[in-house]
């Protein structure tokens, strides 16, 4: 929004902390799954168009849908709306981290576990694999896959591995500091679902996969551990990751033995026959989040820029980079309210037993950087969940550190104990949206004037 004579933008007059929260909520609304389907997926007669591709729905006698991940219900409902009454799926499975909605006859629904798989995660996997075994060349299967799917649908590969083993594995991986693609490389090689094995299970059926990405751009095979895509990682990748983070001794015995003997089974690769009958379309990603936030910030009167450099960086390094960029924006645009937008995820090690996650930890780390300044910082997950807390993230401004001290809160102590949620809950600055039926990574906003 350009300022004109007689008009003063909100960015100059309103609370930066309030504006940061509004920009975040407006961004969430813009990347809503139903709105994305309406923009990017179109049925013309019997043809369903998506991106530069299309599929002829009339070619098939059966249309099935397998939807899993944090956005499972939203994508299922949006697909049904896009297909129209004539081409509604006859059978399917939906697995999510929220309680099941009503489904028609021929469908199964599961409230599975996240971030650690549960018995319902195994039950969902068995239902999906059982369904796919009945398909043939006259079957069209829509896979609707979003972040969180790695835990929500799981089946150990091999008779010697149990659910307890997979639960212990996931706990080790999510706390080790490895990137999501490193974590998923290991998950893929221990699962009957991940790393292309789910697509292999669909056999002669034609498959269309719609993806919502919660991973770095260009790494589609990492989303939910790539169940329907060729796997670019190898067993050797897993051994290297385990050595880099000293994981083998932390694994349960059955999994540790596979690593010690280098006995992991390889995943399906590019060129395997089943992938020739597959279409894949990226419906939403972090780029959509950044574009939506950029528009929202501009509409409130900020000069906005996006910073893409700090994906998967350690928290402190990412904060230093972003504040350096923010200060450069201020120097180059004196007197202009500015907003720096950052997407993706940062790495924040768990060092205590408190409540919180990487988003709240990032904001807590930044409270000292902005103390006394006319600035605000927000960091939140687009899925509405941050770590082991009920919050999506948090927001702080130049007065947050002083307010905390008045309430007897020690920012450094809360950070060391991984108890950022308690800090922001007391201040009233935890962002509580509830689960968002979406999962497009995190959004960080740095505002200043």
Looking at every residue in the chain, the average pLDDT score rounds to: 95
Does the pLDDT value for residue 294 go beyond 80?
yes
> What integer pLDDT is reported at residue 181 of this predicted model?
81
Residue 50's pLDDT band, with cuts at 50, 70 and 90, is very high
Q: Which fold has domain 10-29+287-448?
A: glycerate kinase, domain 1 (3.40.1480)
Residue 3's pLDDT band, with cuts at 50, 70 and 90, is low
Residue 48's pLDDT band, with cuts at 50, 70 and 90, is very high
> What integer pLDDT is reported at residue 178 of this predicted model?
86
Does the pLDDT value for residue 65 go beyond 70?
yes
> What integer pLDDT is reported at residue 7 of this predicted model?
64
> What integer pLDDT is reported at residue 398 of this predicted model?
98
pTM for the model:
0.91
Q: Which fold has domain 45-270?
A: Rossmann fold (3.40.50)
The answer to which of 5-19, 116-130, 411-425 has the lowest mean pLDDT is 5-19
pLDDT digits (tens, 9 = 90+) for 341-384: 999 999 898 899 999 999 999 999 999 999 999 999 999 999 99
Average pLDDT for 335-340: 97
How many CA atoms, within 13 angstroms, populate the side-chain half-sphere of residue 76? 27
Sorted by where each begins, the domain ranges of the chain are: 10-29+287-448, 45-270
């Amino acid at each position: 929004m350009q300022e004109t004579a007689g008009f003063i933008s909100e960015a100059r007059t309103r609370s930066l902390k309030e504006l940061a929260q509004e920009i975040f909520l407006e961004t969430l609304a813009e990347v809503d799954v139903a709105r994305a389907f309406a923009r990017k997926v179109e049925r013309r007669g019997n043809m369903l168009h998506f991106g530069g591709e299309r599929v002829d729905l009339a070619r098939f006698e059966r249309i099935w849908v397998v939807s899993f991940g944090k956005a499972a219900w939203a994508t299922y409902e949006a697909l049904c709306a896009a297909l129209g009454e004539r081409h509604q799926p006859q059978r399917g499975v939906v697995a999510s981290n929220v309680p099941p909605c009503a489904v028609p006859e021929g469908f199964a629904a599961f409230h599975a576990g996240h971030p650690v798989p549960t018995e319902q995660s195994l039950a969902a996997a068995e239902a999906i694999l059982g369904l796919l075994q009945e398909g043939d060349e006259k079957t069209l299967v829509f896979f609707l896959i979003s972040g969180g799917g790695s835990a929500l649908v799981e089946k150990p590969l091999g008779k010697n591995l149990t659910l307890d083993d997979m639960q212990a594995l996931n706990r080790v991986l999510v706390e080790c500091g490895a990137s999501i693609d490193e974590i998923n490389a290991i998950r893929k090689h221990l699962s009957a679902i991940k790393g292309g094995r789910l697509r292999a299970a669909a056999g002669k059926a034609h498959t269309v996969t719609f993806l919502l990405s919660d991973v770095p751009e260009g790494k589609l095979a990492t989303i939910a551990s790539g169940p329907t895509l060729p796997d670019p990682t190898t067993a050797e990748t897993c051994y290297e990751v385990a050595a880099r983070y000293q994981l083998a001794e932390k694994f349960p015995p059955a999994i540790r033995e596979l690593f010690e003997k280098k006995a992991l089974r390889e995943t399906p690769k590019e060129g395997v026959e089943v992938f020739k009958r597959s279409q894949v379309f990226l419906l939403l990603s972090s780029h959509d989040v950044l574009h939506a936030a950029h528009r929202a910030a501009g509409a409130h009167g900020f000069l906005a820029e996006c910073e893409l450099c700090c994906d998967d960086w350690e928290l402190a390094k990412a904060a230093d980079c972003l504040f350096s960029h923010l200060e450069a924006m201020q120097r180059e645009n004196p007197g202009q309210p500015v907003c720096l937008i950052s997407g993706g995820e940062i790495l924040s090690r768990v060092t205590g037993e408190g409540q919180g996650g990487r988003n709240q930890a990032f904001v807590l780390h930044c409270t000292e950087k902005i103390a006394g300044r006319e600035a605000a910082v927000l960091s939140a997950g687009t899925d509405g969940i941050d770590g082991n807390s009920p919050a999506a993230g948090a927001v702080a401004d130049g007065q947050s550190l002083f307010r905390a001290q008045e309430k007897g809160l020690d920012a450094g102590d809360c950070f060391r104990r991984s108890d950022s949620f308690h800090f922001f809950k007391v201040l009233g600055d935890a962002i509580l949206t509830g689960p968002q039926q979406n999962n497009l990574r995190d959004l960080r906003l740095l505002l200043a004037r």
